[in-house]
Amino acid sequence: MKLVYTTDEHITTNPPVCRSDNFLETLKRKLLWLRDFCEKHNATHITGGDITDKDIYKSTNYLLDTINFLNEYYLPTIGIAGNHCLRYNSMKFLEKSIIKTLISSGMLHLLMEPYEVCEDVWLHGYNFGEELVHPDMSIYSEESKHIMIYHGYTTNDKADKTNGLYAEDLMYEFPEFDMFLTGDNHEEFVVEKDGQVLINGGSFYRGTIKQKDVQPHVWLIDTEDLSYEAIPVPIEEGVISTEHKDIVETKKGIMDSVVNTVKENDGVSVSFETEIDELIEANADTIDEGVKIFIARAMEENE
């Protein structure tokens, strides 16, 4: 049997600010390609979480549009919930989360307990925020294979493990697992050690400037021997724009300056409007006109 693993799909009808293409059309093509790829290999799709993006909760329109988009273009899948597809980043609010719609429609089988995906191959899901616990191995045959699917920050950089789990530590702590499919931080890497393999799947599409030169992959896995192959997701060049980078940095600089001014004055009140006006004037050549208008309107609304 074949499995196709993806993670951090971040499906949303609210395009990332860095995308200069028709994002929804691009996302539709990617999902149709994924569906066709799974059908071609007679494979079961597995997700490592963050099927949707948390920005869909910003408005009812985003939420409803994304539900309709998922119903039309997503594919049947088995997997776990990431923080982005959970309301308030918590499994406590699963019933109020968008993936509940996928579960109710039968589109998503959420792993809440071990699942035998094919004979003697077991999937063990750890949704975002859930404790990593050892399964009771006494109930399985000696020939059985076990795959952990985990949504949480996993790194291959020892210096970075304070932010989450170091991949080799995770593998060492859970020797009963043959394969680990992890996701969350959008970084792609594979670790093989002592007969185990860990695949940190990366993201399904490029959603930030940092990913401009990244080639996303899906992962084709053979359950017979847990061999795997990284399959490139079709991408187009020149669709990641850096135009907004200076605007974002300037806006951050403005707010940082205001906060620092208040701190320097030991909490003494300062004129927010005056401070903003002075900063805009000082950065007039680097601030986009649209940003100036946005700031002006926001200040008017809060008068």
Higher pLDDT, 278 or 56: 56
The neighbouring-strand residues paired with 166 are 155
Nearest one of 47, 107, 36, 41 to 74, comparing CA atoms:
107
Q: How confident is the model at residue 32 (pLDDT cuts 50, 70, 90)?
A: very high
The tokens of 178 are what? Answer: 């043959």
Alpha-carbon 167 to chain mean position: 18
Residue with tokens 């003494």: 268
Strand-strand pairing, 217-222 and 227-232? antiparallel
Residue 76: pLDDT over 70: yes
3-state helix, strand, coil in the chain (%, to 5): 40, 25, 40
Q: What is the pLDDT of residues 284-303, one digit of tens each?
A: 555 555 555 555 545 444 44
Q: What is the pLDDT of residues 173-216, one digit of tens each?
A: 999 999 999 999 999 999 999 999 999 999 999 999 999 999 99
Among 40-54, 192-206, 256-270, whose mean pLDDT is lowest? 256-270
Nearest one of 211, 240, 216 to 17, comparing CA atoms:
240
Residue 281: count other Cβ atoms within 10 Å of its Cβ: 9
Q: What domains sit in the chain, N to C, each tagged with a CATH number?
A: 2-232 (3.60.21.10), 245-301 (no CATH)
Three-class SS state of 286: coil
Three-class SS state of 79: strand
What pTM was estimated for this model as a whole?
0.81
The chain-wide mean pLDDT, for the chain, equals 86
